Structure 1
Amino acid sequence: MITHIVPLVLKEEREDLRAALDIPFAPDLSQWKTLSLVRVKPTWVQADLYPSLRDHPELASSLLLLKSPEWDRTLAIYPLGTLGVNCNLIVDHGRPTANVRRITSQGEHKAYVVCALSDGRWEERRVVKVAVEEARRLVGGQVKTAHTGDLWDELGVCTWESFGGSSRTPDRPTKQMLLDLVPTHPVKTFLIDDGWQDTRKIILPSGSVKSTLYSFGPWEGMGAPMVDVISSLRAKGMREVGVWITLQGYWYGIDRDSPLRLKYDCRPFRTYDKSQKRGGIHIPLAPGEGTQWVPSPEKAGQFWEDWFWEIKAWGVGFLKVDNQADYDQITGPGSSETQQAMWSGMLSAVDKVWGGMDRVIMCMAHNDRLLNGPGGLDFARPPGNLVFRNSDDFNLQYEYAHPDFVHWNIHNTILTSHLSLIPDFDMFASNPPSTWPLYHALLRCLSPGPMLLSDTPDTQTNMSLISRMTAEDVSGTRKIVKAPTAARALAGRWHWDNLRGDHDGPALMAGTSFPDACGAMIGVWNGRNPSSGAWAKDQLSRQDVGDALDLEGDIKGEYALWSMSFSKENIWKVALVSSDECRGMPLSLDLKPGECEAVVIARTWEVGGEKVAVVGMLDKLIPLTGIRVTLQEDFLTVKCQFASEPLSVLVFEEAPNWSRLYSKLHFDLPRSTFATELTRLRDDLWLVTVTS
């Protein structure tokens, strides 16, 4: 792997800097195929593919992934800023260009661009990680560690979609409406989304109506004080209740007639003309018709602390802070410092009041600060992994919404899975079928993020699906069975341009490894136009397996592949793959419109003279979660953290010596009494299922 660092200095007298990048080992990149995380909306970034760098649009990018014309090298270009400057990328006539903009009003500030060039397939898997880790080193960011908190380990409820979104009647929550949303099945977290706050309407000169925050309390129609609302929710079993706010307080800031205005020295800023692109494409942004009032930098921290201590006294345990990237809609002198002070003050207050970064969901936050700065690289803020909404909303009302949602998330995690973030794939509905429940549930379980249901009161929750997403631990509590790290698009497919369309073609695929289980999972989705009737027809290759396992080199040992049978055309498909031999490979997968599949990758072991592979809890969507497999000499131990779920092992033999195998195979389960069932799948393949 070759790396190159481009240092950038914004002089004290400058407000911005654009610098074309000179990369010595790749002087002409104009014809390289380009995957770019572009800021397509004020608050959202998505990974889009372009035939060449010359075809890149006039949009800001948080990461460029370039594929050489010979298809043998991949170049990652990753910009990073600080609390003093924002830094992203633009493309100018086929040349990648650093785009640095001042935040603080004084001083000289540094920014950087990290370039990492892979040579060969296995280095390609690591190229983004190498770039991100080099960026951390440059700014002194905290090393990312696995998240160990338990706030998000059970199911929850989010009220926004449950009320029917913006079309709900009434359009604001009441105490009774909230209580009616508490399901009969066990859930832990309850998020009260938009609508609960005390707001006022303002009318802009054009006639457009906006809403502003008047006080820290609830709206007058809530029907009870918030402390009563939350205690009533707790009485119905909700152990953690959270509320939604925006980084401006409300969508359009603080009301000019509010007592908050004087108390927190709120200052007026013109809002930008919305016809302009964001992310520093236009410098400065031309003002539009509106004015927002927001707390001054000197009062920002106190604003958040006062508010958070008040709502904590109600019983609130976590927050969703929305509209973060849209803070740069305010323009004029001091606006960027105000934005920064509100962001930093909010995180410091969360840490002081609740004591952990997992207590805030960072939403609509796709900007330089999160993706290319202190948010994602964990410096100049309270340490810890931030829960980060990874894409635009679930269940948008257009034809391609469901395939697009999966596509955005598994490609955005190419970057976000390496940052100090917990990718959050948004709420989802278990019913009705029109919301594609299994399609979305598989994606949600392939991330360690929150699992918030948005089932409406008139819809029966699909408990069969919920049971495949959860399992009991030894205490009897139902926990989410989900991946410890977020799945991301397989590296060998990053630059494929045939994943969508109206005709049969390849599937969307994302993988994540399970080191404790000595395996990995690959999620597979038909991402083609739903109305076209097009199938996803694909084949899993040895390279795909290596990508999912995230190997630093070629495959060592042998792995079994097992299809989970979510789709009728892919029932119990099995293959074996090693560095020098394959059986049943490439593994063919065929998906109808709206279908998904999952493939377990499990290391094979020689135990008692028999070849075995631990494929986990096959009644779950993600069967390797909570499994630990260890081999000592000829003795294999399989440990499972869940107490009552069937655990399965494949045995590749026509006539196994069962007594010898069982003497070498030990199941370490929370409950000591268990039963064993044998199923012959074919002449030379058995499935052993153990139930505690």
Structure 2
Amino acid sequence: MALCPRVTTYPPLGKATVLPNASEVQITVIIEWERDRQYPFELELLYAEAATAGHPTSWKKQPVPSSGSPSIVLDPDGTYNTASFTGSFLLNELSPATSEDGSTHIVFTVQYRRDKFDAWKYVKAAQGIETGEFIVPVISSQDPSISESLSLENSWEACELDIAGGTQVWQLTSSEKIAKSQQDDTVLEEIVLGRINRQLRFMAITRIEPFWIGCEHDREHFYISNDGLLLSFLSTTGKCVTLLALNEADDVYTVFRSSSDGSIIVAGRNDGLAELPLQVLVAISPDKQASISAVLSQARQKVSKRPKFQAFIETAHAQSLSKPEISFFDNMGYCTWNGLGQDLTRARLLDGLKTLAAQGVKFNTLLIDDNWQSLGKTGLDFSEPGFRGWSRFEANEEGFPGGLGSVITEIKKRYPWIQYVGVWHALLGYWGGLSHDTEFTSNYKTRMVRAKLRLNTPGDVLIIDPDDIHRFYDDFYSFLRSSGVDFVKTDVQHMLGQLVDPKDRSEVPTAFQSAWTSAYLKHFEGRAISCMSEIPQILGHSFLQDKTPKILLRNSDDFFPEIPGSHPFHLFVNAHNALLTQHLNCIPDWDMFQTSHAYSSYHGAARAISGGPVLITDEPGSHDVALIDEMAALSPAGRRIAIRPGVATTVDMWDSFAAGQMLRIGASTASGAGILGLFNIADGVREALIPVHDLFAGAEAPGAILVRSYKTGQIFAPQTPLEKLVKVKCATRGWDVLTGYPLTKVGSRNVAILGLTNKISGAAAVTQLEVTDNVISLSVKALGRLSWYLEGDQSAPGKIIVDGKHELNIDTVSAEPAGNSGTLYAVDLEELWRTRDLWRDGLATIEVRIIL
């Protein structure tokens, strides 16, 4: 800790916080210092109306009285003293004047001194902490016009589409039409849209590379360095304005850009036959998540009317023979990419699996990544892997003698716990498409297209012609299925957006998406991973619908074990990209990672709560088995599964990565618990005061809540969400997961079901929960330390019955004091399953009844 005391506030400094329906504002401050000295600290709030604020030293001042400490997650690595201050200030005292719409916008900071003889220390000067802002919006009974939030140029017309729950949606259409493109893919026509009124912050989902999306942030001036897909703005009125670049016509590509004066530009390209306008969807809401949800919902309706989309759905339904096996997404898996390297062979694969099994690392899903395919020349530089082409269905003879089916048969024979084996391939064949003069050119109609390959290098790429692509994919996946393949990871899909010729751009993307979707539904029952596919031509087409089953979508750029600075950014980008991808027809996949690594638990905790799969790529012999056990659990059928909550997203979408604020990632569970992951993305210690209601971001918080820290096991109960704060500290690479559980009355006492407390996302193991009279009935999908909290002394429960017939001895139930006045009970379901040999194939969940 630095010599200066550390100051943590709520509302937080360095951020903009919206406080809805507030007539008074409560400011809480914790001052923490390491030295064993007793100081009678004094604290003052400095504040001003944002419109007239100068330097904080000229702002108004209010003393903040000392108070009892909020709940504090203990820091096991250090000793420190704390002083707590809480003050409630009437809004009309802080800001007698309001803006034209009636909202209040205050900037604030604090200053402190150790005692009355010490000089006041302004917190930014002492610690570099920026000022904070809070907005108190006014809820109006009238529906405002779009002009109150967005100043449109005259070349745009607005049509209101929907209003529900305080969220309004418009479609904006340009009066200027754009003709059929005769240019390559980089030439877009630009039309200035307008500017956001009273802009305070913005977050943009942009195309940071041709194949990945990411996020950009700033404050009052709108500027993005990459083409944008989705823009969200926070205004000083407290409202969120979200814009989605989408055209309801086929073959129109639309993105956002920015001008030097901060205006929003819509840029587009028309690959269709007729002249068409550019279009944008806009949603305005006091709820930032609701505004994003609204534009995606309207976009889905628009896309469903496109002729090419309707043909896509009709074909997909005709080829789909069965529904997907949803449990596939829960399986813990292993990928060969980083762990076994890119020089993959049958011998290396089998040797690696042997070492993994000997180390006790067992998984249900195996992905054989790149370098199994047979490759040939393409007319480009064969020494560059990105320019090679695919030459036949069967695996390469040098690395896989005996073929693909032989090695898969051997794998499943040796390791019966591996339920699914999948293979990687590129959508067009390989990185450079198809090799010339092969069985493909003999058996299928092909087409030479001009496309931009790796590093945007233009080249001639041989592909299957759209007229024959359905037959090709049906044959290819028939071969894979006959070889024992159970799923596919289809990569390099961004090539559909790298085509240069307008005719190819119009004909190729939708045909390939239709053929691929139909084939994986028919042959693999929906078991597929879509990768490098975060491009508008795919996100706004095959993923912007809910007519086919969901599949896994790689949600961000790769995990790079050798680049230390990439790890915090990887989590940050995934959490922001999920703001968009959570509304698509997919389950976001945060990519594989290694468990024996400086950032292993950091990545592992994020994967556990992400709502997506847990996929590792360990080098054989380098494992953290304890971390694997924390991320995953055995199912009642004996399979190792990820305990997936709902899709997780960032809670603080206005915070930039450069600001270094604690990254907060929120998810929900089927049983009503709320999960909030906390990750330090900066060097050095970071602290945060967490409002209990933030654990239930996106949903209404229960009236009484129990909060548990995963890292320390501390329990805080009962908590009232509108009043209570929890303080968390994380060192470099540090993290914690707070879980909030609804407290339910049983007689005169509160009870909460915590799920599996030895698992990071253990609350998500509870799939159903019912409390009636003195009986708690629940279903769990995984085994571990099942825990529940009961207010009062450590009296033993009456009975615990598992799976309808197995009554547990009371002496197998542990009990320990928890919270202010309660008891935490626990029973080890995994130990029960082992000692009684209760494993049963096909058993997805078990029932537990706790009779008090």
TM-score by length of 2: 0.68
Q: Counterparts of 1:64-213 in structure 2 under 5 Å?
A: 64-68=231-235, 70=236, 72-81=238-247, 83-93=250-260, 94-103=262-271, 105-107=272-274, 112-119=279-286, 123-140=287-304, 149-165=326-342, 171=343, 173-182=344-353, 183-184=356-357, 185-201=361-377, 204=380, 210-213=387-390
Secondary structure at the counterpart of residue 588 of structure 2: strand
Q: 1:578 aligns with which of 716, 720, 741?
A: 720
TM-score by length of 1: 0.83
> Structure 1 stretch 635-644 or stretch 11-20: which is displaced more?
11-20
Q: Deviations over 1:588-624 (max 9, x none)?
A: 1111111211011100122231222222211111121
Deviation at 1:107, TM superposition (A): 4.8
Deviation at 1:370, TM superposition (A): 3.1
Counterpart AA for 1:594: R
Q: 1:345 aligns with which of 490, 494, 515?
A: 515
Q: Aligned partners of 1:642, 1:623: CA distance in 2, in Å? A: 10
Q: Counterparts of 1:284-303 in structure 2 under 5 Å?
A: 290-303=459-472
Cα gap change, 1:482/1:667 in structure 2, threshold over 3 Å: closer, same or farther? farther
Q: 2:573 aligns with which of 398, 408, 431?
A: 408
Partner residue of 1:21?
193
Q: Aligned partners of 1:473, 1:273: CA distance in 2, in Å? A: 43
Partner residue of 1:680?
817
Q: Aligned partners of 1:631, 1:318: CA distance in 2, in Å? A: 37
Q: Aligned partners of 1:475, 1:428: CA distance in 2, in Å? A: 26
Deviation at 1:261, TM superposition (A): 2.5
Secondary structure at the counterpart of residue 55 of structure 1: coil
Cα gap change, 1:482/1:207 in structure 2, threshold over 3 Å: closer, same or farther? closer
Partner residue of 1:378?
545
Deviation at 1:636, TM superposition (A): 4.8
Secondary structure at the counterpart of residue 330 of structure 1: coil
Partner residue of 1:243?
423
Partner residue of 1:487?
648
Cα gap change, 1:644/1:306 in structure 2, threshold over 3 Å: closer, same or farther? closer
Partner residue of 1:279?
none
Partner residue of 1:604?
743
Deviation at 1:571, TM superposition (A): 5.0
Q: Aligned partners of 2:639, 2:383: CA distance in 1, in Å? A: 52
Deviation at 1:477, TM superposition (A): 3.2
Q: Aligned partners of 2:744, 2:558: CA distance in 1, in Å? A: 43
* Equivalent residues of 2:448, 2:462 under 8 A apart: yes
Instruction: State yes or no: 1:525 paired with 2:679.
Output: yes
Partner residue of 1:438?
601
Q: Aligned partners of 2:619, 2:550: CA distance in 1, in Å? A: 31
Instruction: State yes or no: 1:37 paired with 2:205.
Output: yes
Partner residue of 2:97?
none
Partner residue of 1:464?
626
Q: Deviations over 1:67-123 (max 9, x none)?
A: 11x2611111122346533333223443333333334x535668742211112xxx2
Secondary structure at the counterpart of residue 138 of structure 1: helix
Q: Aligned partners of 1:162, 1:9: CA distance in 2, in Å? A: 54
* Equivalent residues of 2:227, 2:255 under 8 A apart: yes
Q: 2:401 aligns with which of 188, 205, 223?
A: 223
Cα gap change, 1:668/1:86 in structure 2, threshold over 3 Å: closer, same or farther? farther
Secondary structure at the counterpart of residue 594 of structure 2: coil
Larger radius of gyration: 2
Partner residue of 1:261?
441
Q: Aligned partners of 2:251, 2:768: CA distance in 1, in Å? A: 47
Secondary structure at the counterpart of residue 594 of structure 1: coil
Secondary structure at the counterpart of residue 450 of structure 1: coil
Cα gap change, 1:289/1:42 in structure 2, threshold over 3 Å: closer, same or farther? closer
Unaligned runs of 5+ in 2: 1-166, 182-187, 306-312, 314-322, 830-852
> Structure 1 stretch 222-231 or stretch 208-217: which is displaced more?
208-217
Q: Aligned partners of 2:405, 2:583: CA distance in 1, in Å? A: 39
* Equivalent residues of 1:230, 1:315 under 8 A apart: yes
Cα gap change, 1:99/1:575 in structure 2, threshold over 3 Å: closer, same or farther? farther
Counterpart AA for 1:177: R
Cα gap change, 1:451/1:546 in structure 2, threshold over 3 Å: closer, same or farther? closer
Q: Aligned partners of 2:772, 2:534: CA distance in 1, in Å? A: 49
* Equivalent residues of 1:638, 1:666 under 8 A apart: no
Instruction: State yes or no: 1:511 paired with 2:666.
Output: yes
Deviation at 1:253, TM superposition (A): 0.8
Q: Deviations over 1:301-359 (max 9, x none)?
A: 22212211112111111111111113333312422122332222221222232332xx2
Cα gap change, 1:328/1:579 in structure 2, threshold over 3 Å: closer, same or farther? closer
Deviation at 1:578, TM superposition (A): 2.8
Deviation at 1:452, TM superposition (A): 2.0
Instruction: State yes or no: 1:625 paired with 2:774.
Output: no
* Equivalent residues of 1:301, 1:345 under 8 A apart: yes
Secondary structure at the counterpart of residue 376 of structure 1: coil
Partner residue of 1:590?
729
Deviation at 1:414, TM superposition (A): 0.9
Deviation at 1:201, TM superposition (A): 4.0
> Structure 1 stretch 464-473 or stretch 234-243: which is displaced more?
464-473
Partner residue of 1:285?
none
* Equivalent residues of 2:675, 2:695 under 8 A apart: no
Q: Aligned partners of 1:289, 1:133: CA distance in 2, in Å? A: 36
Cα gap change, 1:212/1:670 in structure 2, threshold over 3 Å: closer, same or farther? farther
Cα gap change, 1:644/1:452 in structure 2, threshold over 3 Å: closer, same or farther? closer
Secondary structure at the counterpart of residue 211 of structure 2: coil
> Structure 1 stretch 383-392 or stretch 325-334: which is displaced more?
325-334
Deviation at 1:562, TM superposition (A): 0.9
* Equivalent residues of 1:637, 1:668 under 8 A apart: no
Instruction: State yes or no: 1:368 paired with 2:514.
Output: no
Q: Aligned partners of 2:708, 2:509: CA distance in 1, in Å? A: 49
In the alignment of these two chains, the number of paired residues is: 626
Secondary structure at the counterpart of residue 813 of structure 2: strand
Q: Counterparts of 1:279-358 in structure 2 under 5 Å?
A: 290-336=459-505, 337-356=507-526
Q: Aligned partners of 1:477, 1:134: CA distance in 2, in Å? A: 40
Q: Deviations over 1:268-307 (max 9, x none)?
A: 223349777xxxxxxxxxxx55211112221222221221
Counterpart AA for 2:510: Q
Q: Aligned partners of 2:695, 2:471: CA distance in 1, in Å? A: 51
Identity of aligned residues (%): 23
* Equivalent residues of 1:83, 1:340 under 8 A apart: no
Q: Aligned partners of 1:54, 1:67: CA distance in 2, in Å? A: 12
Counterpart AA for 1:318: F
Instruction: State yes or no: 1:539 paired with 2:689.
Output: yes
Cα gap change, 1:412/1:425 in structure 2, threshold over 3 Å: closer, same or farther? same
* Equivalent residues of 1:614, 1:648 under 8 A apart: yes
Deviation at 1:686, TM superposition (A): 2.2
Instruction: State yes or no: 1:5 paired with 2:176.
Output: no
* Equivalent residues of 2:491, 2:530 under 8 A apart: yes
Deviation at 1:196, TM superposition (A): 0.6
Q: Aligned partners of 1:369, 1:600: CA distance in 2, in Å? A: 38
Unaligned runs of 5+ in 1: 166-170, 277-287
Secondary structure at the counterpart of residue 245 of structure 1: strand
* Equivalent residues of 2:425, 2:489 under 8 A apart: yes
Instruction: State yes or no: 1:61 paired with 2:61.
Output: no
Partner residue of 1:283?
none
